Protein backbone atom coordinates (compact mmCIF):
# COMPACT_ATOMS: atom_id res chain seq x y z
CA UNK A 1 0.00 0.00 0.00
CA UNK A 2 1.20 3.47 -0.88
CA UNK A 3 1.66 5.55 2.19
CA UNK A 4 1.47 9.30 2.26
CA UNK A 5 2.34 10.56 5.70
CA UNK A 6 1.72 14.04 6.98
CA UNK A 7 3.85 14.85 10.00
CA UNK A 8 1.16 16.44 12.17
CA UNK A 9 -2.51 15.65 12.53
CA UNK A 10 -3.29 18.83 14.46
CA UNK A 11 -1.36 22.08 14.73
CA UNK A 12 -2.07 25.33 16.53
CA UNK A 13 0.06 28.31 15.55
CA UNK A 14 0.03 32.01 16.26
CA UNK A 15 -0.60 34.74 13.71
CA UNK A 16 2.64 35.78 12.04
CA UNK A 17 4.48 32.53 12.71
CA UNK A 18 6.27 30.67 9.92
CA UNK A 19 4.66 27.25 9.63
CA UNK A 20 6.01 24.12 7.97
CA UNK A 21 3.73 21.26 6.96
CA UNK A 22 5.57 18.13 5.95
CA UNK A 23 4.47 15.34 3.62
CA UNK A 24 6.40 12.16 2.87
CA UNK A 25 5.46 9.37 0.45
CA UNK A 26 7.14 5.99 0.25
CA UNK A 27 6.28 4.77 -3.25
CA UNK A 28 8.65 6.75 -5.43
CA UNK A 29 5.87 8.94 -6.85
CA UNK A 30 7.08 11.79 -9.01
CA UNK A 31 3.97 13.93 -8.51
CA UNK A 32 3.05 15.56 -5.23
CA UNK A 33 0.29 18.03 -4.40
CA UNK A 34 -0.96 20.27 -1.62
CA UNK A 35 -4.66 21.09 -1.24
CA UNK A 36 -6.63 22.83 1.44
CA UNK A 37 -10.10 21.67 2.35
CA UNK A 38 -12.74 24.03 3.72
CA UNK A 39 -16.45 23.33 4.30
CA UNK A 40 -18.50 24.18 1.22
CA UNK A 41 -15.40 24.93 -0.85
CA UNK A 42 -14.12 21.44 -1.51
CA UNK A 43 -10.44 20.81 -2.16
CA UNK A 44 -8.51 23.74 -3.57
CA UNK A 45 -5.08 23.31 -5.15
CA UNK A 46 -2.29 25.32 -3.53
CA UNK A 47 0.90 24.02 -5.16
CA UNK A 48 2.11 20.92 -6.91
CA UNK A 49 5.38 19.41 -8.03
CA UNK A 50 6.28 16.95 -10.79
CA UNK A 51 9.93 16.53 -9.88
CA UNK A 52 12.58 17.40 -7.34
CA UNK A 53 13.17 21.14 -7.07
CA UNK A 54 10.25 21.77 -9.39
CA UNK A 55 7.02 23.54 -8.33
CA UNK A 56 3.92 24.92 -9.96
CA UNK A 57 1.31 27.28 -8.52
CA UNK A 58 -2.20 26.06 -8.13
CA UNK A 59 -5.36 28.08 -7.78
CA UNK A 60 -4.65 29.64 -4.37
CA UNK A 61 -0.86 30.01 -3.87
CA UNK A 62 -0.94 33.40 -2.14
CA UNK A 63 0.61 33.27 1.31
CA UNK A 64 2.18 29.86 0.71
CA UNK A 65 5.40 28.47 -0.67
CA UNK A 66 6.70 24.93 -1.12
CA UNK A 67 9.95 23.02 -1.08
CA UNK A 68 10.85 19.74 -2.71
CA UNK A 69 14.50 18.92 -2.09
CA UNK A 70 13.98 15.15 -2.18
CA UNK A 71 11.61 13.08 -4.28
CA UNK A 72 9.76 11.64 -1.31
CA UNK A 73 9.20 14.88 0.60
CA UNK A 74 7.06 17.89 -0.25
CA UNK A 75 6.80 20.69 2.28
CA UNK A 76 4.21 23.44 2.44
CA UNK A 77 5.33 26.68 4.07
CA UNK A 78 3.13 29.41 5.43
CA UNK A 79 5.47 32.39 5.41
CA UNK A 80 3.47 34.40 7.96
CA UNK A 81 0.44 32.54 9.20
CA UNK A 82 -2.88 34.34 9.23
CA UNK A 83 -6.25 33.36 10.68
CA UNK A 84 -7.72 32.86 7.20
CA UNK A 85 -5.23 30.03 6.71
CA UNK A 86 -6.99 28.00 9.38
CA UNK A 87 -7.98 24.90 7.43
CA UNK A 88 -7.46 21.21 6.77
CA UNK A 89 -4.39 20.68 4.58
CA UNK A 90 -4.18 17.55 2.45
CA UNK A 91 -1.11 16.24 0.70
CA UNK A 92 -1.38 13.76 -2.19
CA UNK A 93 0.94 11.93 -4.54
CA UNK A 94 0.72 10.00 -7.81
CA UNK A 95 2.74 8.50 -10.61
CA UNK A 96 2.98 10.56 -13.80
CA UNK A 97 0.35 9.53 -16.27
CA UNK A 98 -1.71 7.87 -13.52
CA UNK A 99 -3.87 10.59 -12.23
CA UNK A 100 -5.37 8.68 -9.32
CA UNK A 101 -4.10 10.27 -6.13
CA UNK A 102 -3.20 8.78 -2.79
CA UNK A 103 -3.95 11.27 -0.04
CA UNK A 104 -2.38 11.74 3.35
CA UNK A 105 -4.52 11.88 6.47
CA UNK A 106 -4.44 15.65 6.57
CA UNK A 107 -3.18 18.31 8.96
CA UNK A 108 -5.79 20.44 10.68
CA UNK A 109 -4.13 23.80 11.21
CA UNK A 110 -5.59 26.42 13.49
CA UNK A 111 -4.06 29.89 13.44
CA UNK A 112 -4.91 31.98 16.49
CA UNK B 1 -8.59 27.34 -16.21
CA UNK B 2 -10.66 24.28 -15.43
CA UNK B 3 -13.88 24.78 -13.50
CA UNK B 4 -15.64 21.76 -12.00
CA UNK B 5 -19.17 22.18 -10.70
CA UNK B 6 -20.83 19.50 -8.61
CA UNK B 7 -24.51 19.02 -7.70
CA UNK B 8 -26.25 18.55 -5.39
CA UNK B 9 -24.29 19.74 -2.37
CA UNK B 10 -26.32 17.48 -0.09
CA UNK B 11 -28.30 14.33 -0.84
CA UNK B 12 -30.40 12.27 1.53
CA UNK B 13 -31.74 8.86 0.52
CA UNK B 14 -33.29 5.84 2.16
CA UNK B 15 -31.31 2.64 2.35
CA UNK B 16 -31.80 0.66 -0.84
CA UNK B 17 -32.51 3.71 -3.00
CA UNK B 18 -30.22 4.93 -5.76
CA UNK B 19 -28.15 8.10 -5.57
CA UNK B 20 -26.85 10.20 -8.45
CA UNK B 21 -24.29 12.98 -8.24
CA UNK B 22 -23.50 15.13 -11.27
CA UNK B 23 -20.47 17.16 -12.27
CA UNK B 24 -19.77 19.46 -15.16
CA UNK B 25 -16.36 20.60 -16.33
CA UNK B 26 -15.25 23.44 -18.55
CA UNK B 27 -12.00 22.37 -20.24
CA UNK B 28 -12.57 20.19 -23.28
CA UNK B 29 -8.98 18.91 -22.99
CA UNK B 30 -9.84 17.05 -19.77
CA UNK B 31 -9.58 13.31 -20.31
CA UNK B 32 -9.72 11.73 -16.87
CA UNK B 33 -12.59 11.90 -14.39
CA UNK B 34 -12.17 10.37 -10.92
CA UNK B 35 -14.52 10.18 -7.98
CA UNK B 36 -13.32 10.24 -4.39
CA UNK B 37 -15.13 9.26 -1.22
CA UNK B 38 -14.27 10.88 2.10
CA UNK B 39 -15.72 9.39 5.24
CA UNK B 40 -15.92 11.55 8.33
CA UNK B 41 -12.46 12.24 9.72
CA UNK B 42 -10.70 10.24 7.03
CA UNK B 43 -8.71 10.93 3.90
CA UNK B 44 -10.34 11.03 0.44
CA UNK B 45 -10.07 7.72 -1.35
CA UNK B 46 -10.46 6.99 -5.04
CA UNK B 47 -13.54 4.84 -5.63
CA UNK B 48 -13.91 4.88 -9.42
CA UNK B 49 -12.58 6.75 -12.41
CA UNK B 50 -13.24 6.97 -16.13
CA UNK B 51 -11.22 8.06 -19.11
CA UNK B 52 -12.58 10.01 -22.05
CA UNK B 53 -12.47 7.08 -24.46
CA UNK B 54 -15.32 5.27 -22.68
CA UNK B 55 -18.84 6.33 -21.82
CA UNK B 56 -19.53 4.21 -18.76
CA UNK B 57 -17.71 2.17 -16.17
CA UNK B 58 -19.14 -0.01 -13.41
CA UNK B 59 -17.76 -1.52 -10.24
CA UNK B 60 -20.33 -3.49 -8.28
CA UNK B 61 -22.85 -0.95 -6.94
CA UNK B 62 -21.15 2.14 -8.30
CA UNK B 63 -20.94 3.39 -11.86
CA UNK B 64 -19.72 6.49 -13.61
CA UNK B 65 -21.07 7.83 -16.89
CA UNK B 66 -19.41 10.41 -19.11
CA UNK B 67 -20.88 12.68 -21.77
CA UNK B 68 -17.96 14.45 -23.42
CA UNK B 69 -20.14 16.45 -25.76
CA UNK B 70 -22.05 17.99 -22.88
CA UNK B 71 -18.97 18.00 -20.62
CA UNK B 72 -20.58 16.27 -17.72
CA UNK B 73 -20.08 13.06 -15.79
CA UNK B 74 -22.10 11.41 -13.06
CA UNK B 75 -21.67 8.98 -10.20
CA UNK B 76 -24.42 6.42 -9.71
CA UNK B 77 -24.73 4.40 -6.52
CA UNK B 78 -27.38 1.67 -6.48
CA UNK B 79 -28.83 -0.16 -3.48
CA UNK B 80 -27.37 2.40 -1.11
CA UNK B 81 -26.25 1.32 2.34
CA UNK B 82 -25.55 3.33 5.51
CA UNK B 83 -21.82 2.87 4.95
CA UNK B 84 -22.16 4.81 1.70
CA UNK B 85 -22.74 7.93 3.83
CA UNK B 86 -19.79 10.24 3.13
CA UNK B 87 -18.69 13.26 1.15
CA UNK B 88 -18.11 12.53 -2.52
CA UNK B 89 -15.86 14.63 -4.73
CA UNK B 90 -15.56 14.65 -8.50
CA UNK B 91 -12.45 15.99 -10.22
CA UNK B 92 -10.93 16.69 -13.61
CA UNK B 93 -7.50 17.81 -14.85
CA UNK B 94 -7.29 20.87 -17.13
CA UNK B 95 -5.00 18.88 -19.39
CA UNK B 96 -3.83 15.29 -19.44
CA UNK B 97 -1.49 14.57 -16.58
CA UNK B 98 -1.92 17.88 -14.78
CA UNK B 99 -3.18 18.50 -11.26
CA UNK B 100 -6.79 17.63 -10.51
CA UNK B 101 -9.36 20.35 -9.94
CA UNK B 102 -12.06 19.17 -7.54
CA UNK B 103 -15.75 19.92 -7.26
CA UNK B 104 -17.04 21.28 -3.96
CA UNK B 105 -18.34 17.94 -2.81
CA UNK B 106 -21.67 16.23 -2.14
CA UNK B 107 -22.61 15.06 1.34
CA UNK B 108 -24.57 11.84 0.94
CA UNK B 109 -26.63 10.61 3.87
CA UNK B 110 -28.18 7.14 3.73
CA UNK B 111 -30.74 6.45 6.42
CA UNK B 112 -31.84 2.98 7.39
Q: pLDDT by residue (tens digit) across B46-80?
A: 999 998 888 999 999 999 999 999 999 999 999 99
Neighbouring CB atoms inside 10 A of B51's CB total 13
Are residues B44 and A99, on separate chains, in Cβ contact within 8 Å? Answer: no
Cβ–Cβ contact A25 with B under 8 A: no
Q: How far does the CA of residue B14 sit from the closest CA of chain A (Å)? A: 24
CA A8 to chain centre: 12
Report d(CA B27, CA B71) in Å as an integer.
8
Report d(CA A43, CA A100) in Å as an integer.
15
Whether the pLDDT of residue B21 is over 90: the answer is: yes
Contacts of A84 (CB under 8 A, 6+ apart): none
In the prediction, which pLDDT does B104 show? Answer: 96
Give the model's confidence band at B97: pLDDT under 50 very low, under 70 low, under 90 confident, else very high.
low
In the prediction, which pLDDT does A2 show? Answer: 60
CB interface of A with B, residues 27-86, below 8 Å: 33, 35, 40-45, 48, 56, 58-59
In the prediction, which pLDDT does B24 show? Answer: 97
In the prediction, which pLDDT does B78 show? Answer: 98
In the prediction, which pLDDT does A99 show? Answer: 66
Give the model's confidence band at B27: pLDDT under 50 very low, under 70 low, under 90 confident, else very high.
confident
Report d(CA B83, CA B109) in Å as an integer.
9
- Among the partner residues B43, B100, B103, nearest to A106 by beta-carbon distance: B43
Range in A14-28, A92-106, B20-34, B97-111 with the lowest mean pLDDT: A92-106
What is the full per-residue pLDDT of chain A (112 aa) written as tens digits? 669 999 899 999 999 999 999 999 998 899 999 999 999 999 999 999 999 989 999 999 999 999 999 999 999 999 999 999 999 999 999 987 666 899 999 999 999 9
Report d(CA A54, CA B106) in Å as an integer.
33
The helix or strand, by DSSP H or E, that contains position B48, with its residue range, turns out to be strand B45-51
Please answer whether residues A20 and A77 qualify as being in contact, where contact means their C-beta atoms are separated by less than 8 angstroms. Answer: yes
Mean pLDDT (chain B, rounded): 94
Are residues A42 and B105, on separate chains, in Cβ contact within 8 Å? Answer: yes
Calculate ∠ Cα A89-A92-A95, nearest 5°.
165
Please answer whether residues B103 and A109 qualify as being in contact, where contact means their C-beta atoms are separated by less than 8 angstroms. Answer: no
Using an 8 Å CB-CB cutoff, list chain A residues near B46. Answer: 100-101
Are residues A35 and B102, on separate chains, in Cβ contact within 8 Å? Answer: yes
CA B96 to chain centre: 18
Report d(CA A101, CA B43) in Å as an integer.
11
Whether the ω angle into residue B74 lies within 30 degrees of 0, i.e. cis, is: no
Amino acid sequence: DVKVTQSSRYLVKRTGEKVFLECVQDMDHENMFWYRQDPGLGLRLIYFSYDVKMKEKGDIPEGYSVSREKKERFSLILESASTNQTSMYLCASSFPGREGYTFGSGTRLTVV
Amino acid sequence: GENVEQHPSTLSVQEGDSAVIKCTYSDSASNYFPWYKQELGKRPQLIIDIRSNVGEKKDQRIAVTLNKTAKHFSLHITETQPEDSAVYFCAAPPQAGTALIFGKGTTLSVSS
